[in-house]
Amino acid sequence: MIVRRPLALGFAILAVTLTAAFAADLLGELGFTEQAARERIFQAFVDGSVSPGGNIAVFKGAAPDKRVLFVKAVTTFARTFAQTDRFKKMYADYREANKPDAASGESKGFDELMTAQAKEFEQSIAGMKEVMKTLPPEQQKEMQQQIDQMRKEMAAQAKNSEMKAAYGEMAKAESAENAADLKRRLKEWDTEYPPSADQLIANRLREFLDETKDVDYGAKLVAQYGKMRFANAPYEQKSSEWKMCFRAGKEATEAARAFAAEWLKELQAKGLR
């Protein structure tokens, strides 16, 4: 099963770590190159999460209006990059690389299984014969009799029609299970990584808007166990992205939400879900 974190902070947290190409001064302040910005944005979309980086203190120390400026620069940069052929090619390659393979360990036919077992058996016998050379003649004879008996049993097993039929049923059931598992994993993959890069973006924007719709910017913090925690205990169970949104502040987050809503509306106008 594919597991990922929602793009909860979305572009608000991107504002902490990235900047747009046309805002070189902000880029320098935040400590990221244009290439690093592209990489962060791409990972944000495909992974559905962003790890803060760069000079976060710059964002945290900025006034609300400056934070909004960071957000607008970043979201504009993100949308511009996401519309390029480069982004689409990166996504297509990433999607294909993460496509589930056919279930490993596909069932072998009975005859194929017997042949493989016989090969392994003969390899073991070769080792046993090396040991036999070091034994007294009488013990060598006993060991050879054991080997001969094992060969007869294997030959009989290979000709056992009941065993062959039972194995066939077992292999059939296993193949069906593998096929069902592959179908399930392909469905999850296609949902997580839709064929269209624009659909991926629409999905992430919707996740961001859903995750950030109820951030309580006025929530109180209290010192507890050496850390600042929410006075409202249930908030401690919120996602890390929700908490980062809270720290980013209402102005920055709402600026990101407005941008995301507008972008999503444009994508939906194209017929995307």
* 48 domain-assigned: yes
Structure tokens at 82: 């996401």
Residues 123 and 91 in one domain: no
233 lies in some domain: no
Q: Is residue 130 part of a domain?
A: yes
Q: What is the pLDDT of residues 6-44, one digit of tens each?
A: 453 454 444 444 344 445 566 667 677 788 888 888 999
Q: For residue 186, is it within any domain?
A: no
Same domain, 30 and 159: no
Domain span at 177: 110-181
Predicted confidence band at 156 (pLDDT cuts at 50, 70, 90)?
confident
Same domain, 201 and 141: no
Residue 255: inside a domain: yes
Q: Are 78 and 151 found together in one domain?
A: no
91 and 207 together in one domain: yes
Clarify whether residues 80 and 201 are in a common domain. Answer: yes
Residue 165 in domain: yes
> Maximum distance among all alpha carbons in the chain?
95
Choose the final residue of a domain: 181, 204, 237. Answer: 181
Phi-psi region of 230 (alpha: psi -120 to 50; beta: other; left: phi over 0): beta
Q: Is the pLDDT of residue 168 over 60?
A: yes
What total number of domains does the chain contain? 2
Q: Is the per-residue pLDDT at 129 higher than 50? A: yes
Domain co-membership, 21 together with 63:
yes
pLDDT, tens digit, 9 for 90 and up, residues 82-115: 999 999 999 999 999 999 987 554 566 777 777 7
Q: At what angle do helices 250-269 and 64-82 cross, to 10 degrees?
A: 20
Q: Are residues 78 and 203 in the same domain?
A: yes
**Does the pLDDT at position 68 exceed 60?**
yes
Distance CA 266, CA 201 (A): 11
Provide the whole-model pTM: 0.69
